[in-house]
């Protein structure tokens, strides 16, 4: 038997080809979970899988586009066929639209962000709810942003999607609280060295913010220590 605390658990991490998603996938695998890694960039997913295997972990690549209407259902069916349950769902995939005044938000890009950040989240919750309920340790962790709770000038397109994201997760947590062992948490990673942040703050020295591994490790520790349903926290760790 493995002495790793997450041994035997099956985890799905969306947006795990890079950034916080990749760091979380590696951290969960390091602690013994078998991680299903998803994203559109197959080469990037293969690099994450290679890193996981080099560290003694196990994973399965599931290339997919969460904005495609039937992709989530197909993935849920594949996981159900292989494992018949899902123990951990980490929703890290997100899109940052161009920062702009509310009156100048570009509709096509806003729709893409709504589709990935909100509509796909609801689809993930709906598709994987039965599999999470079959687990003794069903846990959902969503990665959010402070602008979802605290509006900031020029960030409305992204902030609105994250406000809706938070609402979906917390409402789901309330709805299943008395009928399931599944628990829901939201994590605000804070300032983190990612490609998304680089686009938002092009002049920032990346060394002044923490690497994504800090957030990935924190998520792994949350799952090891466990958390109460409807838990929310911000990763306040400097670089």
Query: What does the alpha-carbon distance between residue 121 and residue 139 come to, in Å, rounded to a whole number?
Result: 15
- Catalytic, 201? Answer no
Strand ranges, E, within 49-190: 58-63, 88-91, 139-143, 183-188
Half-sphere exposure of 25 (CA within 13 A, CB side): 34
From the list 138, 158, 173, 235, the catalytic residue is: 158
Supply the angle between the helices 156-176 and 120-133 in degrees, to the nearest 10.
Answer: 20
Other beta carbons within 10 Å of 226: 11
Nearest in space to 49 (alpha carbons), one of 31, 65, 66, 29: 29
Pair 139, 183: CB distance under 8 Å:
yes
Query: What does the alpha-carbon distance between residue 199 and residue 219 come to, in Å, rounded to a whole number?
Result: 24
In the structure encoding, which two tokens stand for residue 14, read together? Answer: 């969306």
DSSP code at position 155: -
C-alpha torsion angle, residues 7, 11, 16, 22 (rounded to 10): -20
So which residues are the catalytic ones? 158
């Amino acid at each position: 038997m493995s002495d790793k605390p997450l041994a035997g658990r099956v985890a799905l991490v969306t947006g795990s080809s890079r950034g916080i998603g990749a760091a979380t996938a590696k951290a969960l695998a390091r602690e013994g979970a078998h991680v299903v890694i998803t994203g559109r960039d197959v080469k990037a997913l293969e690099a994450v899988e290679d890193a996981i295997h080099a560290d003694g972990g196990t994973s399965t690549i599931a290339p997919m586009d969460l904005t495609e209407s039937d992709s989530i259902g197909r993935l849920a069916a594949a996981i159900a066929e292989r494992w018949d349950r899902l123990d951990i769902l980490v929703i890290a995939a997100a899109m940052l639209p161009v920062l702009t005044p509310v009156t100048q938000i570009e509709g096509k890009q806003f729709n893409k962000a709504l589709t990935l950040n909100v509509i796909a989240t609801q689809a993930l919750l709906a598709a994987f709810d039965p599999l999470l309920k079959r687990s003794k340790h069903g846990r959902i962790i969503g990665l959010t942003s402070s602008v979802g709770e605290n509006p900031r000038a020029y960030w409305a397109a992204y902030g609105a999607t994250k406000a809706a994201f938070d609402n979906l997760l917390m409402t789901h947590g309330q709805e299943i609280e008395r009928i399931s062992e599944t628990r829901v948490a939201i994590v605000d990673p804070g300032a983190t060295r990612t490609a998304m942040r680089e686009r938002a703050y092009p002049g920032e020295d990346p060394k002044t913010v923490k690497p994504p591994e800090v957030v990935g490790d924190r998520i792994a520790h949350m799952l090891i220590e466990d958390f109460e349903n409807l838990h929310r926290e911000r990763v306040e760790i400097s670089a």
